[in-house]
Amino acid sequence: MKVVVTGAAGMIGSNLVHGLNAVGIDDVIAVDDLTDGPKYRNLLGAQLSDYFDRSDFYARFAKGEFGHVDVVLHEGACSDTMEHDGRYMLDTNYRCSKDLLDACQAQGTRLLYASSAATYGGSASFREEPVFEQPLNVYGYSKLLFDNVVRRALPAAGTQIAGFRYFNVYGPREQHKGRMASVAFHHFSQIRETGRVKLFGDYGGYAAGEQSRDFVFVDDVVAVNLWFIQNPQASGIFNLGSGRAQPFNDVALATVNASRALKGEPALPLSKLVQQGLIEYTPFPAALVGKYQCFTQADLTRLRAVGCQHAFADVASGVQRYVTWLDRQT
């Protein structure tokens, strides 16, 4: 099987490459922009058949220069939700994806691609239906625009097209993402640097640290993508989260206690961690008022309906595994 992974040196892309290798798929063409050179570390140990810069790949793929490609895993995108250059965002996330979709359909290549829970924005419900899609920023809009193209293409599609609305993904190989890295990563870094974790205080009707998100471990994202590769009959747009909303306090609690365990220290309840100053709350930033999702939770009905019954890790188990991995890197 020949597989292309775009955004292959990024967090999800690199984990997908390693996941493909783990199930015996090593004819993998990696596509990315390594202007940020240190990202190459995410691909260390991976088996690749080729690598192309994103500026070179898309036009050549559209011309059929790579022969028959079975599946494209399209993870390449601008994922910075604070990027306000709409022209750049739509060119990178929408037009590039639309051209890739057209090329895949012309060549009989399956396409699995990264959408985002940002398409829901301020909605209180998270089902893959237009009535619930209210993006709060141009990033979410760029992802929704392509999802809508896919919706129109699906009835006549000759091969599998599946989009995954990723919720809050955390896990290995995200160190290059800076401010866009997961909360768990930032918490781990804060503990190492300052000995404490900081969370937002009360906002949006939620008590301090109780704003809740659907946090999904990257290994689970890989497992679902692999399931779809093995089930080419499954097409559509699907939420990809744990289906379980958990407060930021849970992430902080799991990160601090996993870090304590590495030093042989006992786990403590949240109240004790706050009392001892290991978790502290800061005022909610004015810049995020009206632009912040206080609650997300993936509705997995559609994912389950096509037969994907993968069991997702909760925050406690996923973060513990992640902290152990991070500790080995330092």
- Under DSSP, is residue 89 helix (H, G, I), strand (E, B) or coil? helix
Cβ atoms of 89 and 83 within 8 Å: the answer is: yes
- Of 213, 219, 204, which Cα lies nearest the Cα of 243? 213
- Other beta carbons within 10 angstroms of residue 285's beta carbon come to 10
Counting Cα atoms < 13 Å in the Cβ hemisphere of 216 gives 30
> How distant, in Å, are the alpha carbons of 33, 124, 140, 142, 323 from that of 77?
11, 26, 12, 10, 26
Cβ atoms of 132 and 123 within 8 Å: the answer is: yes
- Other beta carbons within 10 angstroms of residue 253's beta carbon come to 26
CA dihedral 174, 177, 182, 183 (to 10 degrees): 130
Q: How far apart are CA 318 and CA 8, in angstroms?
A: 22
Enumerate the H helices of the chain as residue ranges: 11-22, 54-62, 86-89, 96-107, 138-153, 183-194, 218-230, 248-262, 270-275, 301-305, 315-329
Q: Which residues contact 50 (CB under 8 A, 6 or more apart)?
A: 29, 30
Q: Regarding beta strands 245-247 and 212-217, do their DSSP bridges make them parallel or antiparallel, or are they unpaired? A: antiparallel
Catalytic site positions: 139, 177
How would DSSP label each residue in 168-206? Answer: EEE-SS-GGGGGGS-HHHHHHHHHHHHS-EEEE-SBTTB
